A = this chain, B = another copy of it.
Amino acid sequence: MTTIRRIGVLTSGGDAPGMNACIRSIVLTAAAHQIEVVGFSHGFNGLIEGDYKKLLPYHVQHIIHLGGTVLKSARCPAMHTEAGPKAAAQTLQQMQLDALLVIGGDGSFKGALAIAQHYTGQILGLPGTIDNDVDGTDATIGYATAIDTALDAIDKIRDTADAFERIFLVELMGRHSGFIALSAGIASGAEQIICPELGVLKAGELDSVIRPIQNAQVVKGKSSYIIVMAEHCYPGGSTALAADITKAIGIECRACVLGHIQRGGSPVGADRILATKLGAYAVEQLLGGAHLMMAGEVNHQACLYPLQASGEHKKRIDPYLLRWQQQVAND
């Protein structure tokens, strides 16, 4: 068992609900192993600039339910220079930290790998992003909450769409994957889902979108029609696509870009539990000597996965649900 006396932790990249629950779990578990924890502010910036505070169990007592991150997050352009990772590593060395835990997405993990070039301690990643686009874990911290936030919004839009018998196009986040769109689309009973896995559309390429609308309206007398769409799937986004649909079929289609509300909010149970589990597991694995790995959960079991491989985008959205949506709901 490796001796670990002091560790650092930071949150990096887009914030995600559950990051605070993860910080809490790390601090509590570390305390149970007599390990000191310092938290760096604003992601890698705090590491480079030496901006940190000691984290005692007292500090994390009632943060499990808070959205955002008490450590703040930030993009850190300096990490893309040669000097950035070196400076970060230097802070870790000077502070005599035995390990660093990075909570973030694959971009943040790249930063962690760059620091590892200059640092003698251990580094582990924890998957914290609403987008769920990280390999080596079934779900990322924040993904479950983002689905329910999107769902809540779509349910509300359904109310008004249904009252008016209207067509709505709801644009969700997801960077370049359809995880949120498929999950929120299935869960909301959306009539149609547009996501990268089904192909990115070209401007004016409306056939595949319009045909099912017309079928549904004419044949099935649907009183409202909701299309859930991942970002980056149509040039100009949902606003452009809604305008094009309206023009093509002569029925008004309204766009709604959900935006950053998907990042906030109190984490749902699933995210708090996942965050707690992975935080605890990461600390324990540090004691077991783990390095350059990500702590994830696969098939309900905590496990390690090479940090390097976490960004390879091998993880697939549920093929069963994708097919069902195509064949049954989108008919």
Seen from chain A, the residues whose Cβ lies within 8 Å of a Cβ on chain B are 11, 14-15, 17, 19, 21, 24, 28-29, 32, 42, 57-58, 61-62, 64-69, 72-74, 138, 144, 147-149, 151, 153, 155-165, 168, 183-184, 186-189, 220-223, 254, 256-257, 259-266, 268-270, 272-273, 276-277, 280-281, 299-302, 318, 320-321, 324, 327-329, 331
- Contact call B324/A29, Cβ cutoff below 8 A: yes
A257 to chain B, nearest CB (A): 7
- Contact call A269/B328, Cβ cutoff below 8 A: no
Number of copies: 4
- Contact call A188/B58, Cβ cutoff below 8 A: no
- Contact call A261/B148, Cβ cutoff below 8 A: no
Main SS of chain A's interface residues? helix
With contacts A24-B189, A221-B58 taken as known, whether A156 is within 8 angstroms of B265 at the C-beta atoms is: yes
A28 nearest in chain B by CB position: B328
- Contact call A277/B324, Cβ cutoff below 8 A: yes
- Contact call B328/A32, Cβ cutoff below 8 A: yes
- In the assembled complex, the Cα of A188 lies from the Cα of B66 at a distance in Å of 11
Residues of chain B within 8 A (CB-CB) of A302 are 320
A161 to chain B, nearest CB (A): 8
